[in-house]
Amino acid sequence: MQQDEFPNSHDPYGNRWAPLKRHRPQHIGAGPLVKSGKMQGSVRRYVSFSGFTLKAPVPYAQFHQNGTRKMVARPFFPKDGQLPRAWALRFERIADAAIARLMGRTRRAA
C-alpha cells in the first residue's frame, strides 16, 4: 500500500505529489521522495492487541508527511480518520486471514 506511493509519486488518495522546486541530479528518473530509498525502506508496522501503527522512523519523514513552513507536504501515510478505500480493503483481508489462522484455519493474507 504505502510502498506504492513512493514510486508513483502520489499520496494514499491518488493525488500527485507536488514536483520539486528545482530538480537535483540525485532525483533524475525518480520521484520527489526517492533519493536513496532510506525513508521508504524504513517503514515499519507495530502490532498490538488494540490495532497497529505504521511508522517511518527516519528523522526527516515527519517533514515530508506534514510539510513545513518552507516545504509542501507530500504524505505517504493516510491522514488521521481518512483511510483510503484500497487501504481499508487490504487491512480487512489481513484481519480476516489473521482471524482464520487463530481459529485453526490456515490462510495467508493477500
**Please, what sign has the CA dihedral across residues 11, 16, 22, 23?**
positive
Q: What is the average pLDDT across 23-37?
A: 68
- Tell me the domain boundaries of the chain: 2-79
Q: What is the pLDDT of residues 42-81, one digit of tens each?
A: 888 887 777 778 889 999 999 999 999 999 999 999 987 7
Task: Report d(CA 51, CA 96) in Å as an integer.
Answer: 14
Work out the percent of the chain whose per-residue pLDDT is above 70.
84
Residue type at position 50: S
